[in-house]
Structure 1
Amino acid sequence: MGRVSQKRRTRALKQILGVWPNRFGRKVFDRVLRTDSSPKKNLESDFIFYNRSARPEMGSVRDLIEECVANYPESEVEELISRLRSGDDVHFRSATFELFLHDALRRRGFLLTPHPELPNGKRYKPDFYVLDPNGESFYLEAVLATENNGLDKGGEARKGAVLDTLTKSPHHNFMISLDDEGSPKSPPSGKKLKNTVHRWLDSLDPDEVNQKIEDSGFDSLEPILWSHDGWNLQIRPIPIKPERRGKSSNLIGIGGVGGGWVDAWSPIRDAIKFKGGKYGDLNTPLVVAVNLDSFHLDPIDEMQALFGQEQFVFSPNVDAEPKLRRAPNGAWQGNNGPQYSRVSAAWLFNDLQASSLATRNGTVYFNPWATMPAPESLKCFPFATPEENRMKWHEGLSLREIFGLHEEWPRGA
């Protein structure tokens, strides 16, 4: 009897200290007594800092994350917690972004189903299928984008080797268009990629592909997706004109690869293009939410990401004022006009982190050329729509209001 009582006391103690599973399910953060109030160290991950810090404000952050996790779909909680506890800042910030989007929408009466099967048979799954309070639905894809003003020289060199292989391997009937995301951490095999691309192009009829482009636009072409160790490619076919077939000396016709990200807007553009081309034709609107890890994101950058870079055009007449125009290099506006019309709206955030929820908001930009318009219910958040050939911004509920946080959160009471 004494041993039984001792085991019960031991079990109770372990539950208090957080080293025993509790009946409410697994927690994100350890249930331990914290005494370390030192600042975050340079090489310390977000999770380790939040998990060990005894500062009251970090306790508030932990409590909010645990509350959001408790409201997350049970079937996905284990995978979400694994990402949060991985010690990898990219995984942690990506997971918290999805978590906060889920809870913000849930608090506004939206119902979210994670990783739904697509009716078109694609093996890739969006982050959420969302049903709004009015019964309208959309897919929601969340992506973390990085503002990087310094090139990953190793990654760029590895990309360059692959591109050199492709460049030297022309196809009789096609060239290709490339869109990429990320950077390879190890050397990809250019030969394997070349063989994969050529086998795929051999299976296509250039005249049929050209007809589809004329009927439905270049965006209607289904890409092939190829990945290697953090580097993701979308590849689309470009038919060569009949009189030029067999005479091309280069496989790559349009390339979004190389050079790296050197600004705040192109990572957003590239993320929207990549996610917008990933799922094929959909029977439901697609909303892409992008969180850029830049402390300040200007509306000019957001507009450039969606509609093209601002450029000044100077007249040969030196006395004339330069004119401002947009280059055809935005996510929704390209060389051939509107593109990526499958993306019904882009929900753009900057530097949304676990501790900045009270001070960060996102803007929903509605695509004026969307194949299927995004639901009007998203206008409960800050949003922007084109009106009389100008973009107009509208106020909406802030994340601080939606989550019921005070202005100084997580500091103070």
Structure 2
Amino acid sequence: MCADQADEEPITAFDDIPREGQEPASHLIGQFDYLNSSGRPEAAAVRGLVDAWLLGYPAFHRPDLIRRLRSRDDVSHRSALFELMLHALLLRQGFTIVEIEPRLPNGKAPDFLVEAPDGRRFYLEATLASGIDNVAAGADRRMREALQAIDDVQSPDFFLHLHTRGTPNQPIATARLRRAVQRFIDELDYDQAVERAEAGQPPAPVWRHTEHGAHFRIHPVAKNIRRREGRAIGGRMLPGGVIRPEIAIKSAVEGKAGRYGDIGLPLVIAVNALEEFARPDDAIDALFGTTGVIVSPDGGARRVRNRDGAWRGPGGPVYTRSSAVLFVARFSAWNVGQISMSLILNPWARSPIAGLPLGVEVREVLEGRLQTQPGQSLRETFGLPEGWPE
């Protein structure tokens, strides 16, 4: 090895720092900052995978991607990480990345111009489906600050089971909130709480607080082992409500499908749906229309698809420039070993793109019915061991 090669710095998105912390991420630390600083063996495995993906990324574009990966803004970080994974997936399956951010006639630039192993070319654009606008993002940040304030209290004898409702429309006085919870915890009697729990009674008083539209309720639960260090919040119960992941997915697809105009090649939109309960069937609803039931006068009923999808509207097929959607739910670098992707083909596409050898599950309309062809998981695609990253 020559001297220049020996002195060459390794390709990495992460800092060369000592890492000792074994705690889960706090409510405030960004996803990259936690991954960069965690001493957990799982974090080391995740960092290794990200850096392995970076090795295959073109050197000219690598610095900008690393800058985005290192962002303290979780949206920017997750967006860059998703693009990096897609790039690695395509290379792994024998595709060629012809160009990164190719400039189109209308001045816009999708993420990749790709060539399949059989020579066909298509554009690939990645997007996140979060369903969160700037107002909601601000409220979420204020809530996380409040949660961190509660989590920071010293509670050696009790786990705090937290119930929340609403989101703060103004910043919460976190120092005052933390002091109030700390006083509440300090006044609890551990032995009395254990006795009440053993007698089948509520183990301890309940703490309540309302501020700027956010409601907090804490149920302390006596620990089996006292004076155990760690975070105060032992569990959080989210408020009930109707979950509609397909709305965010549909919005994300429509935003990309109408962005580039006439491009002359198929367009594949890769969607990472971030909502907690999103799944491939929600992507089907987002694209082809939500399901409903028609009841006839004689009492009979049949299921139908409403004409409210990104690909099928009231007047028929729409956004036909979108050839397919490559869908994944809640992708992060931590869960590559547990998730799979689905390629959903648009039967009304101007430029069809069937038969892409991506190795993932394929959902395709054949003989008028939506059919599913099974595929590999991302763990299998990237050759990761079972249980990775543990």
1:142–1:290 contact (8 Å) kept in structure 2: yes
The answer on 1:138 being equivalent to 2:119 is no
2:112 maps to which residue? 128
**From 114, 117, 136, the counterpart of 2:103:** 117
2:157 maps to which residue? none
**TM-score after normalising by structure 2:** 0.68
**From 335, 344, 356, the counterpart of 2:323:** 344
1:288 maps to which residue? 269
Assess, with a 3 A threshold, how the Cα gap between structure 1 residues 321 and 150 changes in structure 2: closer, same or farther: farther
Partners of 2:293 and 2:273 in 1: CA distance: 26
Partners of 2:67 and 2:377 in 1: CA distance: 29
1:27 maps to which residue? 12
Assess, with a 3 A threshold, how the Cα gap between structure 1 residues 336 and 347 changes in structure 2: closer, same or farther: same
2:21 maps to which residue? 36
2:70 maps to which residue? 85
Partners of 2:285 and 2:43 in 1: CA distance: 36
Deviation digits for residues 355-397 of structure 1, max 9, x if unmatched?
Answer: 0001111100111011111151245321111122211111122
The answer on 1:310 being equivalent to 2:291 is yes
**From 46, 60, 63, the counterpart of 2:48:** 63
The aligned amino acid for 1:307 is F
The aligned amino acid for 1:142 is A
The aligned amino acid for 1:365 is I
Assess, with a 3 A threshold, how the Cα gap between structure 1 residues 36 and 153 changes in structure 2: closer, same or farther: closer
The aligned amino acid for 1:346 is V
The answer on 1:102 being equivalent to 2:87 is yes
1:364 maps to which residue? 343
Deviation at 1:153, TM superposition (A): 9.9
1:138–1:375 contact (8 Å) kept in structure 2: no
Deviation at 1:262, TM superposition (A): 5.8
Assess, with a 3 A threshold, how the Cα gap between structure 1 residues 103 and 154 changes in structure 2: closer, same or farther: closer
The answer on 1:268 being equivalent to 2:254 is no
2:336–2:378 contact (8 Å) kept in structure 1: yes
**What is the DSSP-based 3-state SS (H/G/I as helix, E as strand, rest coil) of the residue aligned with 2:347?**
coil
The aligned amino acid for 1:126 is P
1:116–1:127 contact (8 Å) kept in structure 2: yes
Deviation digits for residues 265-307 of structure 1, max 9, x if unmatched?
Answer: 0111111111011000011100000000134433431221011
Assess, with a 3 A threshold, how the Cα gap between structure 1 residues 24 and 149 changes in structure 2: closer, same or farther: closer
Partners of 1:342 and 1:296 in 2: CA distance: 28
The answer on 1:396 being equivalent to 2:381 is no
The answer on 1:335 being equivalent to 2:319 is no
**TM-score after normalising by structure 1:** 0.65
**From 32, 36, 45, the counterpart of 1:47:** 32
Greater shift in the superposed pair: 73-82 or 284-293: 73-82
**What is the DSSP-based 3-state SS (H/G/I as helix, E as strand, rest coil) of the residue aligned with 2:60?**
helix
Deviation digits for residues 140-160 of structure 1, max 9, x if unmatched?
Answer: 0000111459983989xxxxx
2:279–2:329 contact (8 Å) kept in structure 1: no
**What is the DSSP-based 3-state SS (H/G/I as helix, E as strand, rest coil) of the residue aligned with 1:384?**
strand
Deviation at 1:76, TM superposition (A): 1.1
1:304–1:330 contact (8 Å) kept in structure 2: yes
Deviation digits for residues 34-56 of structure 1, max 9, x if unmatched?
Answer: 11112111111111111111111
2:280–2:327 contact (8 Å) kept in structure 1: no
The aligned amino acid for 2:37 is R
1:291–1:352 contact (8 Å) kept in structure 2: yes
1:139–1:286 contact (8 Å) kept in structure 2: yes
**What is the DSSP-based 3-state SS (H/G/I as helix, E as strand, rest coil) of the residue aligned with 1:380?**
coil
Deviation at 1:24, TM superposition (A): 3.2
Partners of 1:322 and 1:150 in 2: CA distance: 42
**What is the DSSP-based 3-state SS (H/G/I as helix, E as strand, rest coil) of the residue aligned with 2:333?**
coil
The aligned amino acid for 1:92 is H
**What is the DSSP-based 3-state SS (H/G/I as helix, E as strand, rest coil) of the residue aligned with 2:35?**
helix
The Cα RMSD (Å) is 2.3
**What is the DSSP-based 3-state SS (H/G/I as helix, E as strand, rest coil) of the residue aligned with 1:376?**
coil
The aligned amino acid for 1:342 is R
The aligned amino acid for 1:297 is A
Assess, with a 3 A threshold, how the Cα gap between structure 1 residues 23 and 375 changes in structure 2: closer, same or farther: farther
Deviation digits for residues 63-82 of structure 1, max 9, x if unmatched?
Answer: 11011111111121111111
Structure 2 residue runs of 5 or longer lacking an equivalent are 1-6, 140-241
**From 337, 351, 359, the counterpart of 1:380:** 359
Partners of 2:54 and 2:35 in 1: CA distance: 15
Partners of 1:392 and 1:24 in 2: CA distance: 49
Deviation at 1:325, TM superposition (A): 1.6
The answer on 1:321 being equivalent to 2:300 is yes
2:214 maps to which residue? none
**What is the DSSP-based 3-state SS (H/G/I as helix, E as strand, rest coil) of the residue aligned with 1:86?**
coil
Assess, with a 3 A threshold, how the Cα gap between structure 1 residues 154 and 381 changes in structure 2: closer, same or farther: closer
**What is the DSSP-based 3-state SS (H/G/I as helix, E as strand, rest coil) of the residue aligned with 1:265?**
helix
Greater shift in the superposed pair: 132-141 or 322-331: 322-331
2:58 maps to which residue? 73
Identity of aligned residues (%): 37
1:147–1:263 contact (8 Å) kept in structure 2: no
Partners of 1:298 and 1:97 in 2: CA distance: 17
- Residues paired across the two proteins, number: 282
